[in-house]
Structure 1
Amino acid sequence: MAQWRKSSRSGSNGAQCVEVADNISGWVGVRDSKVLDGPVVVTTTSEWRSFVAGLKRQALR
């Protein structure tokens, strides 16, 4: 079963955030924290790591 978590940088003010479930071997799910029963984007762990690495590179520019 997916265990969803929000970024530690997400405030507790109810702002819209994404949640990530990365506890399922080989897969990562991403969803809107305001629509818990809404659609989930699913990707492979490898693709997710590449995505996050790209975000980090952009942040350093």
Structure 2
Amino acid sequence: MSLSSHIEELKKKHQTLSDRVEAALRAPGTPDTEIAELKKQKLRLKDEIERLTADVS
């Protein structure tokens, strides 16, 4: 897998997590801990994408 395709996969996962966070925020009764965990995962992916993108430059 090339670096650019790996970055694209990470971006897709990031978008999926973003969608899940939005859905969790709209759903009544979603535990705050679940939302916080999704946000942490999303942030880790964002950091990884930025790191890999910087390595390419």
TM-score range, shorter chain: 0.3 to 0.5
Higher share of residues assigned strand: 1
- TM-score, normalised relative to structure 1: 0.35
> Per chain length, whose mean CA-contact separation is higher, i.e. which structure has more relative contact order (CA < 8 Å, sep 6+)?
2
Computing the radius of gyration from Cα coordinates, the structure with the larger value is 2
Higher share of residues assigned helix: 2
- TM-score, normalised relative to structure 2: 0.37
